[in-house]
């Protein structure tokens, strides 16, 4: 019996690990244990409920105004206690959050192998995205198994000296998760939001633009530019609607409601459960984002993605044409969005591009490797 302890703390981690956890439970030769740090309490709990995940250990580490040094220290200390008690054969982490890096370090200190899901993403700039770029580099340094989503990610790992036989190109399990959600009935909350914008599924509906914007490096001037760009877009294009789930961080909330709060045809909501968000992606015409996961998810639904950042650790989507890097400047946001609204060829070139991030079977590949690999 091989014990696999999966550790995560935020909503994106939970979404991407949910298919892997579900796949682990199918195998009688694996004992699957789950530890959550609850780095993001409320948003994490939404996903746990959606995918029917019950943690064996809930560290509940979220604190008001918690800074990165104190969060890192708490995650290392508390996960180390769980690890010392459980002594799993391998720890699974996903992505690039502070939970990922700190849990990987705690595992390393206790000489427990680490499997890193979504390994090898790189922007090339240590401070962008911050602190994610350094988190994933540090996680790579202490991991034994590297589950790379693409060949580009694999090549990044090889350049850093990771042994080839420790790297496995699996695709990204976020595609597995989204396909699962998209096949479910549309949640009532999604129906209500769409109806508020006059989006009823008829051929003459307005076009929906779904927005996510919360990246730390965009705080301040970047978010101001983004929000002014959205406001101008709505004023210039009467046939569009914008739905924007606003992150709970006050750096995002205060600016969003000050600049966009009274704007007609822009609908600001609380953070949405992943099932609701998945169906809004499905109903959208264009997606504007500064986040990471949506760059991978939306193309599997045939939705063009405009990335409101100056760099991305997901160049495969840019190269494939499913996503376009446009920066956080208002003028660029207006120009590139209106191009897709007005130019059908430009739109179809992005909408029909092949998603490079996977085929919905990443979780099966990851678990198969865990079963066969002697760590």
**Residue 180 located in a structural domain:** no
Kindly report, residue by residue over 269-316, the tens digit of the pLDDT. 998 988 999 999 999 999 999 987 788 888 889 999 999 998 888 888
Q: Does residue 256 share a domain with residue 334?
A: yes
Would 234 be classed as within a structural domain? yes
Q: Do both 106 and 248 map to the same domain?
A: no
pLDDT (mean) for 52-64: 93
Mean pLDDT within 81-100: 97
Catalytic residues: 96, 118, 132, 214, 216, 247
| % of the chain beyond a pLDDT of 70 | 99
Of 53-62, 121-130, 154-163, where does mean pLDDT reach its minimum?
121-130
Q: Kindly state the average pLDDT of the residues 175-199.
A: 92
Q: What's the pTM value of the predicted model, to 2 decimals?
A: 0.83
Token duo for residue 293: 């996961």
User: Is residue 178 assigned to a domain?
Assistant: no
* 134 and 199 together in one domain: no
What is the C-alpha separation between 110 and 116, in angstroms, rounded? Answer: 17
Q: What is the pLDDT of residue 133?
A: 95
Please report, rounded to a whole number, the percentage of residues in the chain having pLDDT higher than 90. Answer: 77
Is 325 part of a structural domain of the chain?
A: yes
Same domain as 166, residue 26: yes
Question: Do 207 and 324 share a domain, yes or no?
Answer: yes
* Per-residue H/E/C for 261-312: CCCCCEEEECCCCHHHHHHHHHHCCEEEECCCHHHHHHHHHCCCEEECCCCC
Lowest mean pLDDT among 7-16, 80-89, 198-207, 266-275: 198-207
Q: Given a cut of 70, is residue 359 above it in pLDDT?
A: yes
- Asked if residue 365 and residue 301 are part of one domain, the reply reads no
What's 94's domain CATH number? 3.40.50.2000
Q: Is the pLDDT of residue 341 over 70?
A: yes
204: in domain: yes
> How high is the mean pLDDT of the chain?
93
Are residues 221 and 153 both part of a single domain? no
| pLDDT of 205 higher than 90 | no
Q: What is the pLDDT of residue 128?
A: 84
- Please tell me the total count of domains within the chain: 2
Output the CA torsion sign for 15, 126, 111, 116.
positive
Q: Which residue range is the domain that position 30 belongs to?
A: 2-172+359-372
Question: Does residue 201 register a pLDDT over 80?
Answer: no
Residues 152, 297 within the same domain:
no
Q: Is 182 within a domain?
A: no
19 and 159 within one domain:
yes
The answer to whether residue 340 sits within a structural domain is: yes
Helix (H, G, I), strand (E, B) or coil at 20: helix
Say how far apart CA 356 and CA 375 lie, in whole Å: 29
Query: What does the pLDDT read at residue 207?
Result: 95
pLDDT at 109: 98
**For residue 339, pLDDT beyond 80:** yes
Q: What is the pLDDT of residue 202?
A: 67
Mean pLDDT, residues 241-270: 93
- Whether 345 maps to a domain, the answer reads yes
pLDDT tens digit sequence for 91-147: 999 999 999 999 999 999 999 999 999 999 998 898 888 899 999 999 999 999 999
Instruction: Look at residue 11 and tell me whether its pLDDT is greater than 80.
Output: yes
pLDDT at site 199: 86
Q: Which helix (H) or strand (E) holds 258?
A: helix 250-260
Question: Is cis: bond before 129, omega within 30 of 0?
Answer: yes
**Cα–Cα distances in angstroms (integers) from residue 346 to residues 293, 333, 351, 369, in the given order:** 23, 15, 9, 40
* Residue whose token pair is 């739109």: 347
> What number of residues does the chain have?
375
| Phi, psi (degrees; rounded to nearest 5) at 164 | -60, -40
Residues 157 and 243 in one domain: no
Is the same domain home to 278 and 363?
A: no
- Do 162 and 217 sit in the same domain of this protein? no
Closest CA relative to residue 179, chosen from 365, 367, 368, 358: 358
């Amino acid at each position: 019996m091989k014990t696999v302890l999966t550790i995560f703390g935020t909503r994106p981690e939970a979404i991407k690990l949910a298919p892997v956890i579900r796949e682990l439970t199918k195998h009688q030769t694996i004992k699957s244990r789950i530890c959550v740090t609850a780095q993001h309490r409320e948003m994490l709990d939404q996903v746990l409920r959606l995918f029917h995940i019950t943690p064996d250990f809930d560290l509940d580490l979220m604190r008001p105004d918690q800074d990165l040094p104190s969060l890192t220290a708490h995650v290392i200390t508390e996960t180390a206690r769980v690890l010392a008690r459980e002594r799993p054969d391998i720890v699974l982490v996903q992505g690039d959050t502070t939970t990922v890096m700190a849990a990987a370090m705690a595992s390393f200190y206790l000489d427990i192998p680490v499997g890193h899901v979504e390994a090898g993403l790189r922007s090339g700039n240590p401070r962008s995205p911050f602190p994610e770029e350094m988190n994933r580099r540090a996680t790579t340094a202490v991991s034994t198994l590297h589950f790379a989503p693409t060949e580009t990610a694999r090549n990044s790992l090889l350049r850093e000296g990771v042994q080839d036989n420790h790297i496995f190109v699996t695709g990204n399990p976020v595609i597995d998760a989204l396909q699962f959600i998209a096949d479910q009935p549309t949640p009532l909350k999604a129906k209500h939001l769409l109806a508020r914008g006059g989006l009823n599924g008829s051929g003459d509906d307005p076009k929906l633009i779904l927005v996510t914007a919360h990246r730390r490096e965009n705080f301040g001037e970047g978010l101001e530019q983004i929000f002014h760009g959205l406001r101008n877009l709505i004023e210039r294009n009467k046939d569009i609607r914008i739905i924007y789930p606003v992150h709970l961080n006050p750096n995002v909330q205060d600016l969003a409601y000050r600049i966009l709060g009274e704007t007609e045809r822009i609908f600001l909501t609380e953070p949405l459960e992943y099932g609701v968000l998945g169906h809004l992606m499905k109903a959208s015409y264009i997606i504007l984002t500064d986040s990471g996961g949506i760059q991978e998810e939306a193309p599997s639904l045939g939705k063009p993605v405009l990335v409101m950042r100056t760099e991305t650790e997901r160049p495969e989507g840019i190269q494939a044409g499913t996503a376009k890097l446009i920066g956080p400047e208002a003028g660029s946001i207006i120009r590139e969005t209106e191009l897709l609204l007005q130019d059908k060829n430009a739109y179809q070139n992005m909408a029909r591009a092949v998603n490079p991030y996977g085929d919905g079977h990443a979780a099966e590949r990851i678990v198969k490797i865990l079963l066969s690999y002697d760590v």
